[in-house]
Amino acid sequence: MPGRSDEGSLASRGVSAIKRGARVLARPVLWEARTEQGFRYGQKLQPASNGRPFPSNAEPNPLLSYFDAHTEGPGIWKFRHYFEIYHRHFAKFVGQEVNVVEIGVYSGGSLNMWKEYFGERSHIHGVDIQEACRAYEDDRVSIHIGDQADPEFWRRFRAAVPDVDIVVDDGGHLVHQQVASLEALLPHLRPGGVYMCEDVGGIHNRFQAYVSGLSRNLASSFDATGFNQVVHSVHHYPFAIVIERQPDRVEGFPEGRHGTQWEPFLDGLHRAAWDG
């Protein structure tokens, strides 16, 4: 027959279990509240200082230079700030043997821009639903006609183009098209590859919401998950989202501590605060 100490221990464990359960149930509500809090703070955010900016890289952006010099011929339609994003994430591929996929050929001008930027070892794959876009095909440009929202089209595309390094989604801009393209191509990027989706705008954009949910998997575990084997990082820019592929296999996220002197006042708090 259990004694009073055993009964007290059982009651204590029961209370602890109820508290843990309550915390788990409350997490989605608290997460939504913090999401809204961050959104509201961002709406009223203003710079506290207008001091001298840090000197930027003085080297010209070759993509922006190409765009500014392109005044005749096949059209290129881009937000100007995209060129800084392109160069930041794509520069490592310049001069390499690289396969670039651009969804949304339109007037064809950007196909030549990519050829010029990446160099003679690059091959550009344009994807569009309009048959007329086949006119832009040449020895270094392949045109694939199909619906970017159709998984069967992407199955055929992956069979024809098994190695992809860069994807630029400038296609139909509808959320179901963007999600279908990302889910079809992101797992098939080569290690170190880059996926960029353009023209993601509006405070209630559902593709941005999709990517925000996707990003939660980055730090879901101290162990390396299947998601961590694919995704290295997710970057949000004005009207653009960039996802970078892991360059190498991830075994885990080990911590490192160096030094011999440690203050005691943070003991036990690090893990407790991990879930926010």
pLDDT in tens, 199-227: 999 989 999 999 999 999 999 888 899 99
5 vs 243 pLDDT, higher one = 243
* Residue 224 to residue 171: CA distance in whole angstroms: 33
Q: What is the pLDDT of residue 39?
A: 87
* Residue 106 to residue 76: CA distance in whole angstroms: 9
| 60-88 average pLDDT score | 96
Q: Over the stretch 149-196, which tens digit does the pLDDT of each residue have? A: 999 999 999 999 999 999 999 999 999 999 999 999 999 999 999 999
In this model, does residue 130 exceed pLDDT 90?
yes
Q: Retrieve residue 34's tokens.
A: 């913090």
In this model, does residue 3 exceed pLDDT 60?
no
Residue 91: which pLDDT band, with cuts at 50, 70 and 90? very high
Tell me the percentage of the chain whose pLDDT exceeds 70. 86
Residue 257: which pLDDT band, with cuts at 50, 70 and 90? confident
Q: Over the stretch 133-157, which tens digit does the pLDDT of each residue have? A: 999 999 999 999 999 999 999 999 9
| 240-256 average pLDDT score | 93
Whole-number average pLDDT of the chain: 89
b/e code 253-265 from CB counts within 10 Å (16+ = b) = eeeeeeeeeeeee
In this model, does residue 5 exceed pLDDT 60?
no
In this model, does residue 232 exceed pLDDT 80?
yes
28 vs 166 pLDDT, higher one = 166
Least confident of 14-18, 91-95, 126-130, 197-201: 14-18
| 95-101 average pLDDT score | 98
* Residue 244 to residue 135: CA distance in whole angstroms: 31
Q: Retrieve residue 234's tokens.
A: 């997710």
- For β-strands 99-103 and 164-169, DSSP reports them as parallel
| 92-105 average pLDDT score | 98
CB 167 within 8 A of CB 139: no
* Residue 163 to residue 227: CA distance in whole angstroms: 20
pTM (2 d.p.): 0.87
Amino acid at residue number 107: S
